[in-house]
Amino acid sequence: MVDVTFQPNSVIEARLPRKRASLRTALKRKSTAAFLMTLPLILLITVLVLYPAFYSLHLATLNKSMQRFVGFGNFEFLFKRETFWLVVKQSCIFALSAVFFKALIGFVVAHFVHNIPAKGQRKWRGMLLVPWVIPPAMSTLAWLWLFDPSYSAFNYTLAYFGIGPIPWTGDAYWARFSVILVNIWFGAPFFMIMYLASLKSVPEQLYEAAAIDGANWWQRIWYVTLPMMRNIIAITTLFSLIVTFANFDITRILTAGGPLDHTHIFATWAFRVGIEGGDIPLGASVSLFMFPILAIAAIFILRDINKRGNEA
Amino acid sequence: MTSTVAIDKAAPTRTVKYGSMSRDRTWALRWSYFFLTLFAIFSLVPPIYMLITSLKSSAEISAATNPWWVFHPTLSNYIELLTRNQFLRFFLNSAMVSIFVVTITMLISVPAAFALSRMRFWGSATLATGVFLTYLIPDTLLFLPLFKMFAVFGDWTGIQLINRWYVLLIVYPTLTVPFCTWIMIGYFASIPKELDEAAIIDGASWFQTLTRIFIPVALPGLIAATIFAFTVSWAQFLYPLVFTTSTDQLVLPVGIITTLIKGDVFNWGQIMTGALLGAAPPLIIYAFLMDYYIAGLTAGATKG
């Protein structure tokens, strides 16, 4: 106000550049504000995800006391150990078979839920998703108790049908089966929910057209449902493959890697070697073997995201 | 002429066909219910067995009676656990960690999602994809370098992080923030541009646009993200197992496993009671907010 009364001309002149400057600061402010808003996220990801990821690469090249650089020494040591190859084998068996059955059961159950009248679906879906909701560490304890050798509820029930006591977690093959079974129990509901959501988005007209063309139920699934669900099936399977490869809770609690290291997977063995054995570099080298599967999955998922980005 | 003949012929067969189709339909329905019942039993056996065992005394558990039935129900396991300070400490630690982690996650991911979905800046698209990729890096790959990092950090600064419950507040966001940011980006992107343009024209700042427009409109997404963050931090097992060891610093899952299992002695009644109480908070949230829970679960893949 003071400016206006004393120097009216200079005010107008001064206001123009000031307005331009404030516009510029506003523009600057938008990007600064955007930067400040994402800063915590960027910091979190760099300091606590990216840095440790590369740090584990560095750790894997050190000796046990972490004072001497040994290059690929840890990996050479691993390749010579029989347990390591057991772990590789078990990790692949565990992840592939668990993901396959999770996807299969999820697909089948999603169809059954989709089949029944809409008003009852909510109730069934609610019940079937319970395994996914319970923290896996808690539900695995329940399985451990169900598998208990002497007071086992399963063996009691099987004895009723005249089937002898089964060493659920005591025998190497049965222990492998048990670990996979629990993982299927925990993960199948996730597939079921994803497939159900994508089943609902398949247009009904396609099925009507297929029915008019005389397609039987198998042809309807093969030529209509599966192509329409292809994206969801691919992304859910990749997701689950990563999570299952990196699984820790179930194996750790159910068998702790036993009997005789036959059910160890990368994560549990890395924990055994790195934390319990105190050899952090060796543990880091073991956990690095989860990286290739991660990279492959990431490439596929990235391609999928970019494709969808172009469509939109 | 031929067409009328054809219709005449078709009329009776059509009714027959309808009959067979509806009969097929009822049979398909029966089979669906049959298999759904089987799968529901498969899903619900472990939690139900938890409940059954938690109501038994240790004498009944070790007796050779039918394990699927409670002959002498008792609440002694619950009373014993809920009056024990140690167990209440685990519960309190879990609750504190989860609530803090949810708050931190929301404070980080909501502004970031807003900036990434609305305020285009250099590298924002790359960053959004990067956020999703970090979600794929599993905890089992990071726990060893993080353990070493915190140990080194403790040596340098004298601030002890290992074996303190608050170390979990630092590591849990790495699991929750990327996914929550990702679903919030999806929800924010679905809000029409006109809405925030109108707000900007009316003189709202970016911050006001976020708090007055985006957060209220995207509230379902916010609830879904909150539920996700809570369930993840409540259920996390590996990080507390690695980073905390003293009994007063443990959270519930690790506490139950390390203190209730003593050597080879399994007190199953108490373990099952503890597990059931540990599973209760996520189950209760799920029972009341099932739709939000499922929305959060499916949003990750359908939106990306």
- By CA distance, what is A266's nearest residue in B? B140
A260 phi-psi bin (left φ>0, alpha ψ -120 to 50, beta other): left
Option in B68, B144, B242 nearest A284 (CB): B144
Name the nearest CA neighbour of A281 among A90, A51, A46, A77. A77
CA distance A37 to chain B (A): 5
Q: Alpha carbon A49 to chain centroid distance?
A: 16
- By CA distance, what is B64's nearest residue in A? A151
Option in B129, B206, B286 nearest A33 (CB): B206
- How many other β-carbons are positioned within 10 Å of the β-carbon of residue B219? 12
Q: How confident is the model at residue A165, as a pLDDT?
A: 77
Q: How confident is the model at residue B95, as a pLDDT?
A: 92
Residues contacting B78, CB < 8 A, separation 6+: B54, B273, B277
The answer to whether the CB atoms of B138 and A246 lie below 8 A apart is: yes
This prediction's pTM: 0.83
C-alpha span between B281 and B251 (Å, rounded) = 14
- By CA distance, what is A120's nearest residue in B? B33
Q: What's the angle, vertex CA A240, arms to CA A238 and CA A242, rounded to 5? A: 70
pLDDT under 50 in chain B at which residues?
A: 1-18, 302-304
Residues contacting B60, CB < 8 A, separation 6+: B70, B71, B72
CB pairs A-B closer than 8 Å = 282
Topology of domain A81-311, per CATH?
MetI-like fold (1.10.3720)
Residues contacting A31, CB < 8 A, separation 6+: B119, B121, B122
Q: How confident is the model at residue B100, as a pLDDT?
A: 94
Q: How confident is the model at residue A29, as a pLDDT?
A: 65
- By CA distance, what is A274's nearest residue in B? B144
Q: How confident is the model at residue A26, as a pLDDT?
A: 57
CA distance A305 to chain B (A): 6
The domain segmentation of chain A, as residue ranges, is 12-59, 81-311
What are the 10-residue block averages of pLDDT along chain A, 312 residues in total? 42 48 60 81 88 87 77 81 86 90 91 84 86 90 84 77 77 87 91 86 84 81 83 82 87 82 86 85 86 80 62 40
Note whether A245 and A91 are within 8 A (CB).
yes
Over the stretch A6-38, which tens digit does the pLDDT of each residue have? 444 444 444 445 555 565 565 556 777 788 888
Residues 270-289 of B with CB under 8 A from A: 271-272, 275-276, 278-279, 282-283, 286
Looking at residue B72, the DSSP 8-state letter turns out to be: S
The answer to whether the CB atoms of A49 and B290 lie below 8 A apart is: no
Q: Is this complex scored with an ipTM above 0.85?
A: no
Option in A112, A141, A153 nearest B68 (CB): A153
Q: How confident is the model at residue B104, as a pLDDT?
A: 93
Over the stretch B192-217, which tens digit does the pLDDT of each residue have? 888 888 888 888 887 888 888 888 88
Sequential DSSP letters for chain B: -HHHHHHHHHHHHHHHHHHHHHHHHHHHHHHHHHHHHHHHHHHHHHHHHHHHHHTS-HHHHHSSS-TTS-SS---HHHHHHHT-HHHHHHHHHHHHHHHHHHHHHHHHHHHHHHHHHHS--TTHHHHHHHHHHHHHS-HHHHHHHHHHHHHHHHHHH----TT-TTHHHHHTHHHHHHHHHHHHHHHHHTS-HHHHHHHHHTT--HHHIIIIIIHHHTHHHHHHHHHHHHHHHHH--HHHHHH--SGGG--HHHHHHHHHEETTEE-HHHHHHHHHHHHHHHHHHHHHSHHHHHHHHHHHHH--
